[in-house]
Chains A and B, each alone.
Chain A
Amino acid sequence: MRAETLKGHLDGILLAVLEPGPSHGYAIMEALRARSGGQVDLPTGTVYPALHRLERAGLVRASWSESGGRRRRVYELTPAGRRALEGERSTWRDFSAAVTALLQPLPPPAASPS
């Protein structure tokens, strides 16, 4: 799935990936691939600016931590991030229900008696 297809939904997707607990950039990308069954496969480098934007908006907080001799920037949801995720879910449910209904093929018109 290309980045353009995800436009407008990436923030919600990243918040959902972070919902189970704190995670660092590469692990977030791996979770994103795994949870989408490989459908979402963005260039990993472009996910970091999106995480920084969420941090600036107060939806995630980030801190450097060290494990296994490597420093990593770890992200976790803030309470505002959890509320935003609920909002994204609700918006997506309404949107997908509406689009599904619209894309559904209409039943063929009943043959008129001649």
Chain B
Amino acid sequence: MPEARVLTRHLGAEGLTTLAGYQTVGGYQALKKALVMGPEAILAELKASGLRGRGGAGFPTATKWSFLPQGVFPRYLCVNADESEPGCFKDRYLMEEFPHQLLEGVMISAYALQVSHAFIYIRGEYRAQRELLEKAVAEAYQAGFVGQGILGQDWNCELIVHGGAGAYICGEETALLDSLEGLRGQPRLRPPFPAIKGLYGQPTIVNNVETLSNLPYIVSEGGAKYASVGTESSPGSRLFCVSGHVERPGNFEIAMGRTTFRELLEMAGGVWRGRSLKAMQPGGGSMQILGPQHLDLAIDFKAVADAGSALGAGALVIMDETTCLVDVSMRLVDFYQHESCGKCVPCREGTYFESELMHRLEAGLASTEELATLADICATMDGRCFCPLGDTATWFVMSAYRMFPDEFQRHCGAGHCPVRAELETAA
């Protein structure tokens, strides 16, 4: 059964956005349990769960936590709610539908990590969701799940919802820290890594909304049970966003490793308008393209990596047979150009150069030499930028070019977009 019910196990219950509603389904019992278990036992369960970060990089969460240096305080926890990956809308869903599940996960983690402050950094565009969270946080304070003497114990932790102001790059964890410190949100040089020297120069853990929303389940049901939802190489469940050319776009919770892209696509009603699949992006705007030949791949970290892409932030974007991949590439490159923080040369100037060429190519104005230049630009950028933003700005384009070289070449000197022209002729 590919569909899973971990994050969404309370779906359908009444009033989940309120504390009272959440408590009727057992909300905050896991936090109480956690306080009895103690930090080490929580970490052991987390380790057993095999949970990997859901923000994009997929780094094992327990390993990340273990990097915190012993005995250095204060420490901080930052929740990355700067969901901005094109095609990604799962954290928004989790915050809208299950805000208290997130808060409970945050407080369990805050306790396990012994932090004095936890921050939820939510992107500026999610203003309505921020207000929802702020309401939930106020309720949690009121109920004694956050603040001073939590649940009557000698444990204090503040929880602050911090609104961003429109910058994709703040989803990168060190840029998030700079932004939270009141600076321009630009990535930091590493090392030192945030776990050693993060927010305000103190040990800091940054975890994604979905990652931490799993904590109540892991604590109440046990790490092993969580892991068994998925497979050994891809434990647990995952909320996947499906969008683009599908009948029913939306979020779907799937068992990791046990679900194929075809099954996920079917959950979303299949390719729309009875059309066939041309290409798909398995991990949001940053990730390399896959084709129909990959539909039966399991949604598994390794399987997707072997196919030359990555699960990224968990967003499947479906493109049907009518799609012009040069047009999609141009759209994504424009996005990266707009969101480049401007810090390093290859990203700042490279995305601009790339975008200028993509516009010429899509308009059919570029020469074949310019197409070669585009490939050169991407080669110069990839792996050489200060942070992954600039690197990923080349991934979709280059993977699309590799998979559909003819489509790119046909644009050269055509004077218009040949894909659109053919569609119009056919219509």
Partners in one complex: no
B interface, CB within 8 angstroms of A: none
